């Protein structure tokens, strides 16, 4: 298992972590001057600066990506909605290629309209079938673009609105169904916030293996957690056994970045410098 205590060579910052403090070009700059060599940006942040400008900024600073956020949100109430989702995923793939991402992260979606409090239907099995079909369709383009897709299982508390793929086992079942050859074109993003509680986590990480483990996201689970979305903790401030689980990932062959992704009203209210410096310190002490 890699020793992170002396360097932050394997730290990546998911740019949502400081999205309220800085625009993406500034985030790239602030990371680079701290020796953080990887980020994982969100599409809206890229669009705000401009795709080519971001690509140039990454080149100028020798910054690489640990992932690109995000594709997905496949289920739709109508056929036009599904076509729009597939088109949008194709654009996300193109952007990921332009930025040199190692994978496009998929938050697969769930009951259409639920995010606005008004689900078009309640049939979770239907949403799951639409997700499978959406990933299958997107996978064809992904193979052509040589851009792996990383299915991110989301915490069950997000099952209605954001993702109906809620365990690593379920994500891996999809991978086995759609990419039985383990080609590397389809895998998973393991975000510890979403999966830390899972009694089958160690077993499923081992099952995933190197070809399927495309990303590792870290933060922490606070007790109490006051909000279902935006109360994630800094590594070391909660109960997730981050180092233990990272060990399982590395035993299975994962050798990439530990990407810090913190949605938090608290951390969004702190100065960006403090957030990044804390990420570095905690990467060394708690990841």
Residues in contact with a second copy by CB under 8 A are 111, 114-115, 117, 119, 122-124, 128, 155-157, 159-161, 164-167, 169-170, 196-200, 221, 223-226, 228, 239-241
Is 236:278 a contact under the CB 8 Å cutoff? no
DSSP secondary structure string, 42-87?
A: BHHHHHHH-HHHHHHHHHHHT-EES-EEEEE----SSHHHHHHHHH
The least CB distance from residue 160 to a second copy, in Å, is 5
Comparing CB distances to a second copy, the nearer of 92 and 201 is 201
The least CB distance from residue 262 to a second copy, in Å, is 17
Comparing CB distances to a second copy, the nearer of 25 and 231 is 231
Q: Whose CA is closest to 251, among 195, 200, 213?
A: 213
Comparing CB distances to a second copy, the nearer of 106 and 164 is 164
Comparing CB distances to a second copy, the nearer of 49 and 159 is 159
Half-sphere exposure at residue 129, Cβ-oriented, CA atoms within 13 angstroms? 4
Comparing CB distances to a second copy, the nearer of 13 and 286 is 286
The least CB distance from residue 227 to a second copy, in Å, is 8
The least CB distance from residue 190 to a second copy, in Å, is 15
Is 217:103 a contact under the CB 8 Å cutoff? no
Comparing CB distances to a second copy, the nearer of 30 and 130 is 130
The least CB distance from residue 229 to a second copy, in Å, is 9
The least CB distance from residue 202 to a second copy, in Å, is 9
Is 15:24 a contact under the CB 8 Å cutoff? yes
Q: Whose CA is closest to 29, among 18, 68, 259?
A: 18
Q: Give the position of tokens 């990546």.
A: 12
């Amino acid at each position: 298992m890699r020793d992170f205590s002396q360097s932050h060579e394997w730290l990546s910052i998911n740019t949502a972590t400081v999205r309220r403090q800085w625009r993406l070009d500034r985030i790239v700059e602030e990371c680079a001057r701290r020796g953080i060599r990887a980020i994982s940006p969100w599409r809206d942040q890229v669009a705000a600066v401009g795709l080519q400008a971001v690509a140039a900024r990454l080149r100028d600073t020798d910054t690489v990506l640990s992932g690109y956020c995000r594709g997905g949100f496949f289920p739709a109430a109508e056929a036009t909605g599904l076509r729009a989702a597939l088109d949008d995923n194709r654009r996300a793939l193109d952007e990921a290629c332009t930025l040199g991402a190692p994978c496009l992260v998929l938050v697969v979606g769930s009951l259409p309209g639920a995010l606005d409090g008004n689900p078009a239907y309640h049939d979770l099995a239907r949403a799951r079938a639409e997700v499978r079909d959406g990933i299958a369709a997107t996978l064809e383009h992904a193979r052509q673009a040589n851009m792996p897709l990383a299915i991110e299982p989301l915490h069950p508390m997000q099952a209605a609105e954001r993702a109906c793929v809620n365990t690593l086992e379920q994500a891996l079942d999809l991978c086995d169904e759609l990419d039985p050859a383990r080609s590397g074109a389809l895998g998973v993003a393991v975000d510890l916030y979403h999966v830390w509680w899972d009694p089958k986590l160690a077993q499923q990480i081992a099952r995933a293996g190197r070809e399927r483990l495309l990303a590792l996201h870290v933060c922490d689970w606070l007790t109490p957690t006051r909000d279902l979305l935006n109360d994630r903790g800094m590594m070391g401030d909660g109960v997730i056994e981050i180092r233990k689980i990272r060990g399982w990932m590395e035993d299975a062959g994962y050798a990439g970045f530990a990407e810090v992704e913190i949605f938090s009203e608290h951390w969004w209210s702190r100065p960006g410098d403090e957030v990044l410096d804390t990420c570095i310190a905690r990467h060394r002490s708690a990841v």
